[in-house]
A and B are shown apart, each in its own frame.
Chain A
Amino acid sequence: MDLTLIVVLVIVLALFFDFTNGFHDTANAMATPIATGALKPRMAVALAAVLNLVGAFLSTEVARTISGGLIKEGDGGIQITPEMIFAGLIGAVCWNMVTWLFGLPSSSSHALFGGLIGAAIVGAGLGSVDFTVLVSKVVLPALVAPIVAGVVAFVATRLAYAITRDPATGRGLGRGNFRYAQIFSSSLVALAHGTNDAQKTMGVITLTLIATGAQAVGTGPEFWVIAACALAIALGTYTGGWRIIKTMGTGLTDIKPAQGFAAETSTAATILASSHLGFALSTTQVASGSVIGSGLGRKGASVRWRTAGRIALGWLLTLPAAAAVGAVAALLASIGPVGIVIDAVLGLGVIVAIFIISSRDKVTSGTVVSEVDAAVGAVRTPKATRKNRKKKRQAAE
């Protein structure tokens, strides 16, 4: 295999993206069991990392969507080049880092697609993107999956509460023990995350290899690609876990164990089913949808539309914003090798700068433990307000 410098650069950058993805999303799976004390932090983080690693090996359907469908390649379509993929990745990584720094809700997956699409349109024209595949396998799943997860979580929460209700008094029976179930449901979420998210990187690397002719059109990811992506996401998950442990206690959820279990099971079920059919969706968004759905499953809960709207806006913004960054990077890359060097230097600059800023200012990076936590704030539960009122009354006395 002939690996040119640009291919190596793309692979390194893609694996770095994979790493940040794991880093970014550990909290989604493991924040609740750590918070409820069902798992020790050390154990939870290690478990999440291992399950991400295992999950990455489960399936290749999503990777095939990216490498074989989204961007037309090969004889029939317009050739895309590794330079464009490189530009797209720069767009994705930069947008991801910036949203992470400012604590904006965003999706790593949409940043990746946005960056790639932006770069492909600038580099090869509108015809280079297969918009049917884009709509049917990326945009629609992105809109539908969180709603599906929300409905499923709503039903599952209702079931969990109904089954454990004492018929005579209407009170709960043994609901605290759902805490132990959360060990397993969180593990499933970590597994599902590895399955869906590691595949996105596999897809990008495979796309690059296909674009350079190192791999036949229409083939799936090679084993070394799968293994490298699995390792990168697991390492990211493990590293990201330490950040959560450090920032623990900030805004950690008002979720009851029964709700958390129902929400996590719904998240895992939705992601795993979607991955099986090749839908590349955002695990963060699905988890957020589940959390909102399970919140509404509790008696008398209602949605805080303002918070929910802000989350939704962040989601809608991600794809076009990353596309814009990717497009600019692709414009630079089209100049030639000099442009690519500028891209690489700028991208590296952004990454290093953000790491320095975030390590200096712990509060900024710690304000958002996870985007799913933000989703918790989108549901108002009467219990919480009653408790708050009681607290206020006690404080006043």
Chain B
Amino acid sequence: MIDWAAFAIVAAAALVSASVVVSLFAFGLRLLNVGRGLDADDTPGIIETTPSGSVSVVGGQTERRPRWATVAAIACFTLCSGAVLFGIYLIVPVFHSS
């Protein structure tokens, strides 16, 4: 007999766990970036030349990250690593034998 339910379980488990872990980490990174500029590799920075001749770069890491964002980011990273450890805990039979 081919156990189709087992395939469904594997697919669902992989989808949910990977999505949760990736999303949590991404949210963490996003929160760390609150109040900061765009990615350097995506935007080279806009160089503006004023009529008087002075040159300034718009964007970049000039602003400071608020405290709540740092705390929330750490919470996301903690939850992320917690999710990974819980996943490993679930599949190791040693933890469930007793």
Contact = CB atoms under 8 A, between A and B. Distances in A.
Interface in A227-285: 258, 261-262, 265-266, 268-270, 272-277, 279
Nearest to A290: B18
A281 to B, nearest CB: 9
A175 B17 CA distance: 21
B42 interface: yes
B70 interface: no
B75 interface: no
Contact of A275 (B21, B29, B30, B91): B91
Given A136-B2, A174-B32, A166 B14 contact: no
Nearest to A275: B91
Given A136-B1, A159-B23, A178-B29, A172 B14 contact: no
B84 interface: yes
B87 interface: yes
A164 B91 CA distance: 31
A140 B2 contact: yes
B93 interface: yes
Given A159-B23, A273-B17, A277-B9, A175 B29 contact: yes
B3 interface: yes
A188 B87 CA distance: 11
B89 to A, nearest CB: 11
Nearest to A220: B93
Interface of A: 58-60, 132, 135-136, 140-141, 144-145, 148-149, 151-153, 155-156, 159-160, 163-164, 166, 169, 171-178, 181, 184, 188, 191, 258, 261-262, 265-266, 268-270, 272-277, 279
Given A135-B2, A173-B29, A176-B40, 16 more contacts: A58-B88, A59-B92, A59-B93, A132-B2, A156-B22, A159-B23, A160-B22, A160-B25, A174-B30, A175-B41, A178-B25, A191-B88, A273-B9, A273-B17, A273-B91, A279-B6
